[in-house]
Each structure stands twice: as C-alpha cells, then as structure tokens.
Amino acid sequence: MSEDKYVIGVDYGTDSVRSVIVHASTGKEVAAATFVYPRWKKGLYCNAAKNQFRQHPSDYIEGLEQTVKQCLQQVDAAVRAGIKALSVDTTGSTPVAVNEAGVPLALLPEFSENPNAMFVLWKDHTAVKEAAEINAHAEQFEKNYLQYVGGIYSSEWFWAKMLHVLRQDEQVRNACYTWVEHSDWIPFLLTGGTKSSEIKRNVCAAGHKGLWSADFGGFPPEEFFATLDPVLAGQANRLSNQTYAADAPAGQISQEWAERLGLPQDMLIGIGAIDAHMGAVGGQIEPYHLLKVMGTSTCDMIVAPAESFEDTLVKGICGQVNGSIIPGMIGMEAGQSAFGDAFAWFKDLIAWPLQHLLSNSTLIDSATAKALVQETSDKILSELSKLAAQLPVETESELAVDWLNGRRTPDADQTLKAAFKGLSLSSDAPSMFKALVEATCFGARRIADRFVEQGVPVKGVIGIGGVAKKSPFVMQTMADVLGMPIKIHESEQTCALGAAMFAATVAGLYPNVQAAMEKMGGGFDQVYTPEPQKAEVYTLRYQKYLEYCKFIEFGNTALKETQENLVGAV
C-alpha cells in the first residue's frame, strides 16, 4: 500500500457528528472535528414527556460540511489529494419521510418546522402502540416475519415509526413517497442521488430494524403491511429488496459535493451502516466476544461464522443478520435504551436547585452564578462515582431497575419504567447513584445471559464509547457484575474509525474489512478485572434485581390490562 492514502470516517451520534481523516495503512488519526447539532441542543422539535425526539436534516448537512472542512484545514495538500473514500455511520433506526426525489420533507419550505417531516431519532418512542400492533399482526401469518429480530418488533424501529407518523400527519402522508434511514440518506446525498428508487439500502439497518431478510426474498410482502394499515399500502413496493453490506461502494462523490467539501472528485462514498455496528469494527470485535458500545444507550454485539448459525435463532434481541457487522458473518445486536442517559438524568435531578434557584440569588451576580452552575454540574458525576466506589457492596442495599427509557433487550418493551427499592431516610445521592450504576450493569448481564441461554457463547467482553473510556467506577462495576474481564479499546472515536476502516475497504486498499481492522486497529489500552469478593455478592444482588424486574413487569402488564378493560367498557 502506498503511504499517501487516506480515508474519512463520519460518525453521526445522538448529540453531534464527528469526522476523522485516517492514515489508511496505519489507522492513525491525522485530523478530527466535532459539530454539535444546534437545533437539537436547543431542544427543538422534541417533547420528552411524549417520548418524541426528532432531528432536523439541516443539523446533519451543516455538521457534515463543517466537520469535513475543519478536518481538511488541519492537513496539507498532499493529504487532501490522497483521500480515497469516505464512509458514514449514523444512529438507527433513525428514518425520515422523503419525496420522490429523495429529499427529506423537512427541507421543503412547507414542512421546515414540522417534526413529523424530520428524522425520527432512534430514542423516539412515540410508536409504542404501532409496535404492539405489528407484533400482534405478525402472529396472523404462517411465515414468521419477526424471527430474525428476536421475535418482538420495537417502537425504536423503522416500520413502527413510519406507521405512527403516517397515521398522525395527513400532510406528511400525502407528500411522502418513501422512508429512508439516516445511514442510507447521507451516502445518497453525497453521491448526488435524485431518485428515491435509486437509494441503496444497507443490510445493517434493513435487517435489524426493517424486517428485511434474504430468507424472505427481501422485505415482507405488500400484503403484510397493507393489511396492517392501509396507510402503508404501496410502501413495501417502493423499497428495493436488494441490500448492500458496508464494504460496498454507494458510488462516486458528486461534483457538487466534491467542490462543496473540497474533496477529490474521484473518491468513493461507501454504503452506510448503524453507528454501533461500524463501532464494533473500529473496536476490533472478535467472534463470540460481546462488544459493548456504551454511550447514551448501549448496543451490544456479537459476530459468529455464518455456517455455525444455520439453526440458531436468539429470542428477544435486536436481530441477527448476515453481513450486518462484518460481511460473511452473522451479526447479532442487543442493547439497553438508557445507559449514559440514566446517569445524565440523575445528574440533572441532583443539579435542579443549581439550575433553577442559583440564577435568582441576590448574593452573587448572574455571570458568577452561571459559572458556578457549570463548574458544579461538570463535577457531579465524578464526585458521585468517587463516593459510590467507597461504599460496601452488600446484598441488602438500595436496588434499582434501569428502565428509564423502557427496555430494549432482552424482550423489547418501551412501556416499562424504572424504579428504586429499599430507600430509607439514610439513602443519599451516592448510594442511589451506586444502585443506578449497578442496575445498568445488571441489565447488561441479563443480555449476556440471554445469548448464553440461546446457545451463543460469550468468550470475552470489549468496551468502547464515552462511558467505557471515562467512567472507571462504572466499568469496574460492570466487570464485577458480569464476572468477566472487560478490554477497553484505545480509540476515543471507534465508530468514526470503523467507518474509516470500511472506507479503506471500499477504496480497494484492503481485500476485506477484517484485513483493515488488523492493520488500522490500535488495540486495547486497559482491562478491568472482576474482584472475586464483589463478584460473589453481585451474583446474589443480580437475582434480587431479576425478581424486582418481574414484579415491575407484572404490575405494568396488570395496569395495561386494566386500562384496556376501562376503554372497552366506555
């Protein structure tokens, strides 16, 4: 390989987009830039009380343009000329309604302020009712169209979100031609696409979120969706049944975007994928090792040789798809709907007096108050972690369930809520925070146990993401609860690095992504090892957690049945 070849990885996260320029032969990062979505930061188009989280496509476009340009400003002309390909990962399922030209409706003047015309973020749970209907509807068909998504369809996924918006908004329904995942739209945009029918859909999002399977010949048939609700009639026919792995090119960058970004006009754009899946590649995932992407939520992935999975179906996970993570292997996904988000919620709860009372203080000026709020808020989690780590691990201390944003896996149910148990007048912030951290780790163990129970061994654990890199207390607790060592990848930007690895493969610089991983991966810089005494106590506490989960789940089911009976009676 020539020494002057470079690739770009673009990683669209929940709060920001990150771009990196990477040396294709070593994986060394030579430039990086981050852009925080301005509309999202202001909380526009979102309503947390309704679990509505929407993002404007302009945030994505502006972020792409600014981060790539900033990266190019950090390198010389030789590096810029040596860039061979760019690949993108995004959150998912994060789809949007587009017109026949493939333009998101929110980019049209008449829909510019309509949340239903925007990308429906992965964490948007407004489609809980629709997901339940899809699950009930699927039981009427002889073929099990849910078998490769763990047997349960989630409100976080493509069809549930589409159905909810099309039902809710007649204007969007009339203007919409089809729906497109964020991870498919960015490559379509960069290659100058002008027809929705020509969008190349990635197997990662289509298989894990959209019910696509090679065994079905593609997506479920028109009959499945049209009989679910007439508003979906024709939608399945507008989705090509051909999908692509992320090692394939979406096409060459368009002249417009090459000039707009300052990139070589002969460079390739790769097929997109979900952020965590490319992050697994950046984190150098190994067969039968559980790789945990730990950020606002978690995405837990395992890859296995396809030939060993002919008769294995893992129930209650987010799907198993051939080629979704590494082409030629079965990619399996699970995860938790709230992880870092759970800690952020607790921090905001603790910081409420600072945020709402200090600004009205007559003792200090407003600038000092603002600075004090910022300084204190920034220290809350680190101080809580320090004090929580000093508390003894006991079977009878405060216990929590981590379903602050519902349950993703195992067995998706976004109607479930979190809870604390065993609180007393002696319970304080560090003890409650410790219980919350333990709960997220117990949720992680439940996922690992589900894989093992279903015949998928877990031979090791790899951690990547912001929490993995920045929270020693959380990671040590995770190792103690899982009873297994956790290797932490050295890269701060594993998702963007994974995208760069795919870009290098797309450009033909490597024969496959495994070869790119081997050469471009930086390895691991830390290992958390279980402490035997704590691990033993955590095994007992984990059983109590499972019992508490059953109690909450039983109460939730009883409540829903009561509400349904009351509605029926009325």
Tell me the pLDDT tens digit for each residue of 486-501. Answer: 999 999 999 999 999 9
**Same domain for 446 and 510:** no
How far is CA 57 from its chain centroid? 18
Same domain for 76 and 141? yes
Three-class DSSP category at 243:
strand
Are 178 and 260 members of one domain?
A: yes
Q: What is the rounded CA–CA span in Å between residue 244 and residue 59?
A: 26
Residues 479 and 517 in one domain: no
Task: Enter the tokens of residue 368.
Answer: 């000092």
d(CA 357, CA 370): 11
- Same domain for 145 and 247, yes or no, is yes
Average pLDDT over residues 450-457: 95
Q: Tell me: do 118 and 135 sit in the same domain.
A: yes
Do residues 193 and 102 touch, judged by C-beta distance below 8 A?
yes
Residue 355 counted as domain residue: no
Same domain (yes/no): 131, 98: yes
Q: Which residues pair with 32 in a beta bridge?
A: 20
Residue 354, classified by CB atoms within 10 Å of its CB into exposed (0-12), middle (13-18) or buried (19+), is middle
- Structure tokens of 397? 């201390």
Shared domain check, 496 and 470: no
Tell me the residue range of the domain where 144 lies: 6-283+491-526
pTM for the full model?
Answer: 0.92
Residue with tokens 């709960």: 439
Q: Give me Rg for the CA atoms of the chain.
A: 23
Q: Which helix H or strand E contains 413, and what residues bound it?
A: none
Distance CA 74, CA 79 (A): 10
- Domain for residue 389, yes or no? no
512 and 327 Cβ atoms separated by less than 8 Å: yes
What is the SS3 assignment for 491? coil
Question: Is 547 among the domain residues?
Answer: yes
**Nearest-angstrom CA–CA distance, 345 and 331:** 31
Asked whether residue 357 is domain-assigned, the answer is: no
Q: Is residue 169 part of a domain?
A: yes
Percentage of the chain exceeding pLDDT 90? 92
Domain count, the chain: 2
User: Is 334 part of any domain?
Assistant: no
Residues 481 and 505 in one domain: no
Vertex 73 angle, CA 67 and 75, to 5°: 115
Question: Based on the domain organization, do 128 and 192 belong to the same domain?
Answer: yes
144 and 103 co-located in one domain:
yes
pLDDT at 564: 64
Q: Predicted confidence band at 570 (pLDDT cuts at 50, 70, 90)?
A: low
By CB atoms closer than 10 A (0-12, 13-18, 19+), residue 362 is exposed
Question: What CATH number is given to the structural domain containing 176?
Answer: 3.30.420.40
Q: Does residue 384 sit within a domain? A: no
Question: Is the CB of residue 2 less than 8 Å from the CB of residue 80?
Answer: no
Residue type, 377: S
What CA–CA distance (Å, rounded) separates 6 from 556?
A: 52
Structure tokens belonging to residue 124: 């948007």
Residue 309: per-residue pLDDT? 76
Give yes or no: residues 497 and 409 share one domain: no
SS3 call for 441: helix
71 or 569, higher pLDDT: 71
Instruction: Look over the chain and give the mean of its residue pLDDT values, rounded to a whole number.
Output: 95
Q: Which helix (H) or strand (E) holds 30?
A: strand 29-36
346 within a domain of the structure (yes/no):
no
